[in-house]
Amino acid sequence: MHSRFLGALALAAACAPLTATALQVTLPAETAVYVPSELPGYQLVQQNCLICHSAQYVLTQPRTLPRSYWQATVEKMSKAFGAPFPEQDSAAMVDYLSRTYGAERPAAAAP
Ligand code: HEC
């Protein structure tokens, strides 16, 4: 009979939440944040770059990239993707990004 089959389904559905509570889910620490810095660009990236995505995209770029890459990326965010930060913020953000995530970072401060 169908009703017995449906009954079994209902029982299975009722048990599902019990099974779920037995699972232990430990999430990794949130690492997709900008590395704190004294550089003025740190405040600016917090303000201008987190509107659309986390720092993940920045963190996953190779650490060997030159200032010109960060310059081009900041420009791309503004011109191609429409990031609404004022033009005068660019230089400080490029400086922070190059010195924190790019080829200009001090080796000891590698994030
Ligand atoms: C208006 C939304 C927006 C803002 C604001 C924004 N981004 Fe992006 N960003 C994007 C999009 C869209 C992509 C492309 C995502 C993809 O390709 O999947 C991207 C990708 C990136 C990447 C990956 C490399 C690449 O060239 O695609 C980096 C690095 C990056 N953003 C850095 C920044 C930085 C630094 C800032 C602040 C200056 C910033 N973003 C602000 C939308 C934004």
* 33 inside domain: no
- Domain tally, the chain: 1
> Quick one: which atom of ligand 1 is closest to the CA of 82?
1
* Protein residue with its CA nearest to atom 7 in ligand 1: 77
Is residue 54 in contact with ligand 1, taking CB distance under 6 Å?
A: no
> Is residue 18 one of the residues assigned to a domain?
no
- Parent domain of 63: 40-109
Task: Please identify, by atom number, the ligand 1 atom nearest to the C-alpha of residue 76.
Answer: 26
Check pLDDT > 70 for residue 5.
no
Alpha carbon distance 20, 14 (integer Å): 11
Question: pTM for the complete prediction?
Answer: 0.78
- The helix (H) or strand (E) run that includes residue 22 is helix 2-22
Could you read off the pLDDT of 43-71 as tens digits, one per residue?
999 999 999 999 999 999 999 999 999 99
CATH code for the domain in which residue 80 is found: 1.10.760.10
**How does pLDDT run across 10-45, given as a tens digit for each residue?**
555 555 555 556 678 887 666 789 999 999 999 999
57 C-alpha to ligand 1 centroid (Å): 7
